[in-house]
Chain A
């Protein structure tokens, strides 16, 4: 390995400053420069700054973002969010490792080209299972697509290298290209004829240098109409195109004279949306800002407050936000109301914190307001890290100004003049958008000194997280901003009394702030008319899993689980029976189908053994194993435990030990009782919310699905999910097509054309590839 160039360290320190709290920022700069943290660089940082060796070692080894060993040239990040998990993320992860022949104790292939990592959630659950390589997201993966994904990615890199082009698809004026449409009969039946005509029309009207051609069928008629845009540099494919999309496709790839960039960007965003729902063989890639859109079906059941004007305004355009009542709530506060009045309005609204615990917002605010101090801070918690939840990501990317307005109102009410916006590192687009929005607000005198001519000032700083789920806990988050390991501390004292730098600090979640402008504009009373007695207003959920229509929804509190699943989500997509809903992620629990009438409010969900949490809602069907779900969440929390207190550090590990035993057929008598006992102990004895809620997925599944646990003790997985407890076999429906044999990555199936195939159970790795490729549905899992 070459000696790292330490000049960069000196430059970085010069830029960031030398205070002990700068450690995260410095490490992030070093990580992105070197791809890892060379010891020499860390020692140099200690020489140049007030950061101690103990601090830099402790911090750099705490956060997932940092590597102490060099990584490969590219990093494959396999999403193991809940939605991806139930759709086979582990198989995908294994398939990448297998294909790249990565050694057991390594995460990078021998040629140091690819590093394979698991990430908690990429926030694009409807593409599940999804992965990200550098800045490209690949969705709807299967094990056998792994080779083509890598090939596709490397080809793309070659093109980029050649052109040194930017991330965004660069439309070049005058560039020639082809737009290909299949006009095969089955594609015509799917509507490709009309798409063809619309494309021709669009090309003609925009006078771009492209030819529309009819081509032969690629054989994926269920995705029809399919459009291929072929440019000299690369090819893009779209599926399930509607005639009205034609113009947008033309504009995205071929630059007409006189079209403004703004229109083109809007068009691109719209196109990403059609790309999200369907897949393309062999691979479908998406740009980094692909994400699940709001579900627009059954709009009547939804109520958009945090997501007001969804789909109608440009996220980055401050003028558009202002035109749509933006910052009028802030003006109203500054010009007409005192802090007490604002807090009274919030009290009337009944707003409770949307971060998970549901603490009444006005109480927190009053506590900060009443804490005597010459300095108070405000923090926005954007460290959303629940696997299967990405509401805050969407809010930050789509409504940055609304969040800033909410934060400013809150700061004004509690008397804070300095704010921090802690955003999860895995959300670069959110960080970029929020930074841009803060800049623009500053220029517009909506942030900074003497806001709107008043004597109220607020300076906002963005602090990117570094990959530690526990930093969503407020005391850990504060420690992280202070440049420490994200270890929670005992409350009291609450941040409202002693928070950031031991000053009174208001800390709320993104969604909470996003709701504020609406509440101030419309009045707390109107807000409180929505929802139930103790849970007011609306809640944004990320609806995912085995559901026909997933995505983000904003619904009034009190709506039933059934209404969400059936009316908004369109029921189970697979046609299998609805089994349960996992609500609240790793801190939440599973509500079984028989309790589907449970209204979604804080108290009812608690009673059912789940929690509101930050709003992940994963629908499970009968093919999902509840023991596996519990194991999945425990694996997550165990991995994310900070390691401070005994119950969480070792207790979650011991719970996971038992769950792993159950899922691998090594369960023994007494395991269930011991698991239950441990769950109760960890819940009672853990120091912070992470540990106190970590047992919930176990306790709720034990409560409703104990029989499945008992079955696992008897070495049986009723849902056919736990790999060690199932076997794959070929039924008599086999026609001898050899596809399974060709695709089996473990050589467990011998190729026998026109004969019934057989699976060698000893060699079989239960990856499910044969079942996916079999055209006859002749693979049985037991």
Chain B
């Protein structure tokens, strides 16, 4: 049995084992996209390259069999650089949006396309869960948000954007009006206490997400009721107090404590909070830089200075967000701060490195060209944008249904499973490194369950192998050569003709979102 060394670890494996498998036995994960256990290694993506001492260049670990005495390195800078280059090259020819442009534009990063699909299918409980993953006060924001997401909506290029904000309000209103409004499952108590100064959009959002993480939150506010600017700075016709009350009470229903009539600096100081609580989040709204209440904190140009990556202030354990660190103007931005600060605070309280929310890689098409919009229009209803009957009203159920059908579903259906996205995040790959004129986006949607977007294909050929093994009569094949090679069904037939048996397995094996199920 050959003995070899991988990253200074010795191992003995049976002959015929690949380097990838041997590394796996040692607990060393080598990234791979085109490799699938049970299929012949196609050695195409080259993400699994490793260095073998004594060999020039790098070799793909998925296909390279071990040899006795081999010295393998998987974690050198050279290897990492090559892997990043492979990813960046693939990304330079990757035509697709990981997320819908609406989600990318939403300051809270809400998964809008998923919410819309859930509403379209009548799954309102799913929709509210999706919303509350990122937005603590959707019924409130559904009334006052200027909806930057709608400005980014791809449908704008055709007629009117999808009424995202009203759809969110619709789902939230139905939920609030129901007998048992949605309550998230909170983690068991961590025993940690967090003080939040200010119960406006930022503070309330932070409170909501910290409670969900199992931390006990106490909200201090100078007013006697929670809401901050939402209560005192917004037209009541636009946002009736009943809605605000109902939605904020949901947050305190999770166990957060509200302490009104308490002004920071006057009634209690930041230092005191820092001593009494395990962590502090300051979200009081705009401050004066010379206000002695904040003298213990370093200032920036427009308020408290923070590390923009993780919301830390100059005091250990004290975080700040919302308008007190600079004018946000939008409630939704302040709410996003609160949500993101909660992630940092949770990391801090758990003793983890405080890195803030993970920045996941996002592939972007950018502006659509020529007739690309037509690919998406095929999936959507052609009806015009719905308008509520009266000013300040929301959608009726049928309206919401019709409006939701207007969504172009232009996001990727595999944003979580996609290996390209995962490794691009891991290796810090940049999509525009080798930027050049891109190809046109196309979508093949004839198959009842499966959608094929060739621009996302990395030409690994797994689906071709799987279709051949399943003895598909037509199956799939590579067409052309080199840079222009494409995976397609022979003789120009459709995917539904090519994949009569193996479609599901092909989708599951596809390392990217090139082949995906239509309904996710």
Question: Which of A's residues lie within 8 Å of B, judged by CB?
Answer: 39, 42-43, 52-58, 61-62, 468, 485, 489-490, 492, 638-647, 649-654, 657, 674, 677-678, 681, 683-687, 692
| Cα–Cα, bound, A653→B467 (Å) | 29
Interface residues of B in 465-497 (CB under 8 A from A): 467-468, 473-485, 490-492
Nearest chain B residue, comparing its CB with the CB of A654: B434
**Which residues of A have CB within 8 Å of B64?**
490, 492
Residue among B57, B59, B484, B485 making CB contact with A683, cutoff 8 Å: B57
**Which residues of A have CB within 8 Å of B57?**
683-686, 692
Cβ of B499 to closest chain A Cβ, rounded Å: 12
Cβ of B56 to closest chain A Cβ, rounded Å: 8
B431-473 Cβ-contact flags toward A at 8 Å (1 or 0): 0001010000000000000000000001100001001100001
| Cα–Cα, bound, A692→B56 (Å) | 10
Let me know if B321 is at the binding interface, CB within 8 A.
no
A649-B475 contact, Cβ under 8 Å, with A61-B480, A678-B85: no
A61/B82 in contact, CB under 8 A: no
Question: Which of B's residues lie within 8 Å of A, judged by CB?
Answer: 41-47, 49, 57-60, 63-65, 78, 81-82, 85-86, 89-90, 92-93, 434, 436, 458-459, 464, 467-468, 473-485, 490-492
**Which residues of B have CB within 8 Å of A53?**
473-475, 477, 490-491
B46/A685 in contact, CB under 8 A: yes
| Cα–Cα, bound, A42→B93 (Å) | 31
A646/B436 in contact, CB under 8 A: no
| Cα–Cα, bound, A698→B485 (Å) | 24
A54/B467 in contact, CB under 8 A: yes
B491/A43 in contact, CB under 8 A: yes
Q: A643-B482, A651-B89, A686-B46 are in contact. List 6 more A-B contacts (CB 8 A).
A: A57-B477, A62-B481, A644-B42, A644-B43, A681-B86, A687-B44
B89/A646 in contact, CB under 8 A: yes
**Which residues of B have CB within 8 Å of A42?**
491
Q: List the 4 shortest-distance A-B pairs measured between CB atoms, nearest first.
A: A643-B485, A53-B490, A54-B477, A57-B490
A685/B479 in contact, CB under 8 A: no
Query: Among A58, A468, A652, which residue has the most Cβ atoms of chain B within 10 A?
Result: A58
**Which residues of A have CB within 8 Å of B58?**
684-685
**Which residues of B have CB within 8 Å of A646?**
44-47, 86, 89-90, 458
Nearest chain B residue, comparing its CB with the CB of A681: B85
Residue among A55, A56, A468, A650 making CB contact with B483, cutoff 8 Å: A650
A485/B85 in contact, CB under 8 A: no
B482/A685 in contact, CB under 8 A: no
A649-B480 contact, Cβ under 8 Å, with A54-B474, A57-B490, A490-B64: no
| Cα–Cα, bound, A640→B485 (Å) | 12
Interface of chain A, main secondary structure = helix
Nearest chain B residue, comparing its CB with the CB of A655: B434
A54-B89 contact, Cβ under 8 Å, with A61-B481, A685-B82: no
Cβ of B459 to closest chain A Cβ, rounded Å: 6
A58/B477 in contact, CB under 8 A: yes
**Which residues of B have CB within 8 Å of A485?**
478, 481
A685/B481 in contact, CB under 8 A: no
A654/B92 in contact, CB under 8 A: yes
B43/A653 in contact, CB under 8 A: no
| Cα–Cα, bound, A529→B317 (Å) | 80
Nearest chain B residue, comparing its CB with the CB of A641: B482
**Which residues of B have CB within 8 Å of A649?**
459, 482-483, 485
Cβ of A66 to closest chain B Cβ, rounded Å: 11
**Which residues of A have CB within 8 Å of B89?**
646-647, 650-651, 654
**Which residues of B have CB within 8 Å of A645?**
43-46
| Cα–Cα, bound, A561→B332 (Å) | 72
26 intermolecular pairs with C-beta atoms under 8 Å apart: A42-B491, A43-B491, A52-B468, A53-B490, A54-B490, A57-B477, A57-B490, A58-B477, A61-B479, A468-B481, A485-B478, A490-B43, A492-B65, A641-B481, A643-B481, A644-B44, A645-B45, A645-B46, A650-B90, A650-B92, A652-B483, A654-B434, A657-B434, A684-B58, A685-B85, A687-B60
| Cα–Cα, bound, A692→B434 (Å) | 19
**Which residues of B have CB within 8 Å of A43?**
491
A58-B46 contact, Cβ under 8 Å, with A678-B85, A683-B57: no
A39-B491 contact, Cβ under 8 Å, with A645-B43, A646-B89, A649-B459: yes
A58/B482 in contact, CB under 8 A: no
Cβ of A358 to closest chain B Cβ, rounded Å: 14
Cβ of B206 to closest chain A Cβ, rounded Å: 42
A54/B483 in contact, CB under 8 A: no
A685-B49 contact, Cβ under 8 Å, with A646-B90, A649-B459: yes
Cβ of B60 to closest chain A Cβ, rounded Å: 6
B82/A643 in contact, CB under 8 A: no
Nearest chain A residue, comparing its CB with the CB of B473: A53
Nearest chain B residue, comparing its CB with the CB of A492: B65
**Which residues of B have CB within 8 Å of A684?**
49, 57-58, 78, 82
B483/A653 in contact, CB under 8 A: yes
Query: Among B44, B481, B485, which residue has the most Cβ atoms of chain A within 10 A?
Result: B481
| Cα–Cα, bound, A492→B70 (Å) | 14
Residue among A55, A683, A685 making CB contact with B477, cutoff 8 Å: A55
**Which residues of A have CB within 8 Å of B41?**
490
| Cα–Cα, bound, A489→B482 (Å) | 15
**Which residues of A have CB within 8 Å of B473?**
53
Cβ of B244 to closest chain A Cβ, rounded Å: 52
| Cα–Cα, bound, A58→B480 (Å) | 7
**Which residues of A have CB within 8 Å of B86?**
646-647, 681, 685
